[in-house]
Amino acid sequence: MWLTPGPDLKAQEALRWGADPSGGAPYVFNDPANPDRYIGYEKEMVDALAQAMGRRAEFVPSDWETLVPALQRRSFDVIVNGLEPTGDRAQVILFSKPYYIFQLQLTVRRDDNRINSLDDCKNRVVGTLGNTAASRLLQQQGIPLSTYADPVGAYRDLELKRIDAVVMDVPAEAFYARSNPKLRQAGPPFTRGQYVIGLRKGDTELKAQIDAAIDKIIIDGTLETILKKWGLWNEAQAEFQGPIRAGTQPTKVEEYTNPTTTFNWGEALWRLTRAAAVTVLLALGSMVIAVVFGLPLAVGQWKGPAWVRAFCTVYVEFFRGTPVLVQLLFLYFGLPVIGIAMPGWLTALVGLGLNYAAYESQVYRASLEAIPTGQWEAAYSLGMGPVLAFRRIILPQAFRIALPPMTNDFVSLFKDTSVAFAISVWELATAYRELANASGQFLLLGVAVSAFYLAMSLPMAHLARLLERRLRDRATERVTEEATA
């Protein structure tokens, strides 16, 4: 803590504020006309606040999920990112007074007449941002949800029918969904909540300055101008700002509901266990695909005609030469452009499977090539055809050679399932990120998640070693067996 200068020293300098600009319209985002520049209503609001405080605003681009830990690490002084004052956040950070009243909006596909309110969503998957008022509301009502890192992904998956509805804060909904002809609003906005500015515990002096600045830009109409410019001024804002401007503070904060969840370790472990099951299924499924596709690839590259060899080589080099994360993103976001939209879990299964097929094929090829030509000739001279010789004589021997590297690959595939978090698959790494972000328990949950991974990968490695040894020692085992018999 004493390594970086405290906020007091910074006071004369810039007011550093953190927010997630990725998919962050209309809060703060990259100006499409000039991507080096950040724009947004909150950007303009912080500029106004800083001016009111006699300071200069400095934007620190960050990641929504890790805003709170980043604030605590002093990456910036305040969070201004449509932050809701939830109970669990209140335990770790300080809140300013509210500056905006948000509502939630349910959006569905235009041609989908089944859903007209949240009550129609009981058995459908609803997309929203992780760790928001919307996600907590859905959890509370027991509606299955799929969480996203930004609104763009959620609305795109809605269009692609990967999910059936999206619940989003009105500002984001207004910017990303309202003008989309394929989507429609399902019912009026509902729920009211506040956006506040987040500060580190103990920064009470800064809080006082910020509260005063918020009052100032509300009273002098600056905030109203900004919100109107961005199309965000509505009845709720008028109701909220009215009393402040009339000087009858404090506002009736308790009117606005803010669903909060307290962190529950039992619940967390249960969710981790489910995520672990997803991880195991993902790893097993991908490995099956890798093994099934790897063998024809290996044989094709080894004995196939020239064009088959060329195809297999291109396949292998492509999948080995590009990161698996990029491949998954391509499959998930790129393929829908040509009409192939797979759900996240299937994308992860296929993506990891195809990727590891490239690695497995090389293991198989090396193993097959390691079998002496004499084994083929002996099989042929006994009247076997190529297929029978391959299946009965070559493959079983090659399998023994391939087993140790296959085990290695499986353990590494098992860990690689964590990249599936990039496409919203709820596996262990995603679970860790979300639970830790929601609770701030990065250390304890990290230990728990590592324990989960080890609890699965260690027995697997052990089992594989046992199998290997049994295959290798079979000949000698038989000898001792007979010697003792």
Partner 1 sequence: MIRVTDLRKRFGDSEILKGISFEVPPQTVLGVIGASGSGKSTLLRCLNGLETINGGTIECDNVRLEAGLSPPDYRRRVKDLRLKVGTVFQHFYLFPHLSVVGNIIEAPVHVLRTPKQRAETEAYELLESVGLRQAARRYPGSLSGGEQQRVAIARALAMHPALLLLDEPTSALDPRRIQSLRTLLRTFVDRGHTMIIISHSMGFLGGVSDNILYMEGGVAVEHGPAEELLNSPKDDRTKDFLKQAE
Q: Are 67 and 79 in contact (CB under 8 A)?
A: yes
DSSP structure class, residue 391: I
d(CA 443, CA 95): 24
Binding to partner 1 by residue 11, rule CB under 8 A? no
Report, in Å, the least distance between residue 306 CB and partner 1.
Answer: 18
The verdict on 340 binding partner 1 (CB under 8 A) reads: no
- 99: closest CA among 185, 186, 227? 227
What Cα–Cα distance (Å) separates residue 183 from each residue in 113, 120, 174, 338? 11, 17, 12, 20
Q: Which is nearer to partner 1, 66 or 397 (CB)?
A: 397
Q: 235 or 482, CB closer to partner 1?
A: 482
Residue 320 Cβ vs partner 1, minimum distance, rounded to whole Å: 30
Q: Which residue's CB is nearer to partner 1, number 9 or number 475?
A: 475
Compute the distance between CA of residue 291 and CA of residue 403 in angstroms, rounded to an integer: 12
Give whole-number Cα distances, 330 to 29, 261, 341, 351, in Å. Answer: 23, 35, 11, 9
In order of 100, 206, 344, 403, the CA distances from 463 in angstroms are: 57, 58, 30, 12
- Considering the complex, state which of residue 260 and residue 375 has its C-beta at the smaller distance from partner 1: 375
Rama region for 450: left / alpha / beta (φ>0; ψ in -120 to 50; rest): alpha
Stretch that binds partner 1, among 31-39, 158-166, 330-338, 476-484 (CB under 8 A): 476-484
Q: How far apart are CA 126 and CA 132, in angstroms?
A: 14
Region 369-388 residues binding partner 1, contact defined as CB under 8 A: 372, 374-375, 377-385, 388
Chain positions 391 to 430 lying near partner 1, rule: CB under 8 A, are: 392-393, 396-397, 400
The residue range among 224-232, 300-308, 334-342, 469-477 that interacts with partner 1, by the rule CB under 8 A, is 469-477
Among 73, 122, 465, 478, binds partner 1 (CB under 8 A): 478
* Cα(321)–Cα(162) distance, integer angstroms: 29
Which C-beta is closer to partner 1: that of 386 or that of 459? 386
- What tokens were used for 125? 């998957």
Q: Cβ 460 to partner 1, closest distance in Å?
A: 24
**Which range touches partner 1 (CB under 8 A), out of 36-44, 154-162, 316-324, 475-483?**
475-483
- In the list 321, 338, 482, 484, the residue contacting partner 1 (rule: CB under 8 A) is 482
Give residues in contact with partner 1 (CB under 8 A): 372, 374-375, 377-385, 388, 392-393, 396-397, 400, 474-476, 478-479, 482
